[in-house]
Amino acid sequence: MGSITAPPGYAEAAAALRHVHEQESAIEVAKLIAVAAMCDRYRVDDSVIVAGCEETMVYGADGTPALGAFLSLEVAGILQVSDKTAGTLIAETLNLRHRHPLLWEAVLAGRVRSWPARQVTWKTKELSAEKCRGLDRQLAAALAHQNPQRALRTVDRLVLAADPDRAREKARQAARARDVRVFGIIDGHTDVWGRLDPGDGVALDEALARIAAALPESEGDHGQRRAKALGWLARNANGETVPDHLPLGTTHPDPEIGDGRRFRRGRSAELVVHLTGTAGQSGVELSPVARVDGYGPVLTDQLGTVLVGCQVKVHPILDTADVVPVDGYQVPERMRRIQEARNPNCVFPYSGISSRYCDLDHTIPFDHQAPAGAGQTSLANTAPLSRKAHRAKTHAGWRLDQPEPGLYQWTSPAGFAYTVTPHGTIAHPAPAQDHQAAA
């Protein structure tokens, strides 16, 4: 056979990809070094001892130092991520550096990519620092000489062998962590995740198979009919009548629940749906998209499937002009609803926490000695903040201004500036200063 000649320019394109890969690895390492340097230099003001002040916390696992709880807020703003994601990066950096020194050196030297090394810190987080160091050379060798997927499987084996008793206890803890979760609405559907008792899992699988088999082929393929079957089981349990041909049983063993065709409805829950519209010649034209709190967006013509069986209570928010400022410290319910509608999330930079779970903080601190008529509680002087963001503003040097209602200007202790609007966060240019990498 003759030799195969690469097309013109192919080798150059391949070399460019290799160069990008190497640069990407270098940037990942530089990020870890910068985070480690911030950890070394961050200090908690011990002179402030009041309720809500900054405390130290252990981000990482055994053998890592305690650091200020608000450090993650500074990192979150710089990297444009949530506080939780920033805390995870800090934990991974500390774990690598203090519990896996050889693996840390391999990452800094470019022999191991940072992302599988960071995954190792989570697989080993329940081991003692001493056991981690005992495995360190093997872990570093596995990640340096195997592809990441194979290396992480090797890590699993080494971790199990290092502490079999812990592995058994972890299995018992997993049994206590059984759960079923329904995630947000994406493309008009929701994802379901669950961890069940093995017997319950088998029983659910068999029930879905029986119901799916009884559904007509017009309902879709086998997987689609199983998904429909799970919906029928849920609706049946909520007291909704289901078709007679579905094999849902005849008598439930608990007489308080009722027969198998119609179960008693459980406790009611609040489902908040946001609808918006614009004024047109024929009246208000409803937006084609609604937002369901805790789940996500859904087309308005699909709301019928979401709200079926629900008792609907309407809270219209038509005009913010008639919400007048008040003198009291407590925020009126109507003002809170408008704030939640205007700012669906905490107004800390890049926060993903729903405003429904936030405090409404006074941007200009409330003065209990102010004269009547000051109107300190208003849409122009309140902001939904998580407890942690609220404490950082009060005690840790984060400055917040609201130059106009719904526009929030933040300045971090390091001097980084952010503007938060109902539509998201804008990061302003970094303050001018000398940048020196610290290993």
Output the pLDDT for position 333: 85
* Residue 148 vs residues 64, 114, 118, 259, 373: alpha-carbon distances, Å: 25, 11, 11, 53, 65
Output the pLDDT for position 319: 61
In the chain, % of residues over pLDDT 70:
78
Output the pLDDT for position 195: 84
Q: Give the start-to-end residue ranges of the domains of the chain.
A: 11-175, 178-268, 273-307, 320-427
336-344 average pLDDT score: 86
Under the banding of pLDDT at 50, 70 and 90, the label for residue 400 is very high
CA nearest 52: which of 369, 410, 361? 361
Output the pLDDT for position 94: 97
Under the banding of pLDDT at 50, 70 and 90, the label for residue 376 is confident
Output the pLDDT for position 294: 62
203-229 average pLDDT score: 84
Average pLDDT over all residues of the chain: 81
Under the banding of pLDDT at 50, 70 and 90, the label for residue 262 is very low
The alpha-helical segments, DSSP class H, found in 308-385 are 333-342
Under the banding of pLDDT at 50, 70 and 90, the label for residue 268 is very low
pTM of the full predicted structure?
0.69
In the chain, % of residues over pLDDT 90:
28
Instruction: For residues 109 and 97, give the distance between their C-alpha atoms in angstroms, rounded to a whole number.
Output: 13
Residue 297 clears pLDDT 90, i.e. is over it:
no
| Contacts with 372 (C-beta within 8 Å, 6 or more apart), sequence order | 327
Output the pLDDT for position 399: 92
Residue 290 clears pLDDT 50, i.e. is over it:
yes
301-321 average pLDDT score: 65
- Residue 247 CA to its chain's centroid (Å): 39
Q: What is the pLDDT of residues 97-109, one digit of tens each?
A: 999 999 999 999 9
Angle at 20 between CA 86 and CA 148, to 5 degrees: 60
416-429 average pLDDT score: 88
| Contacts with 328 (C-beta within 8 Å, 6 or more apart), sequence order | 377
Residue 375 clears pLDDT 70, i.e. is over it:
yes
Residue 232 clears pLDDT 70, i.e. is over it:
yes
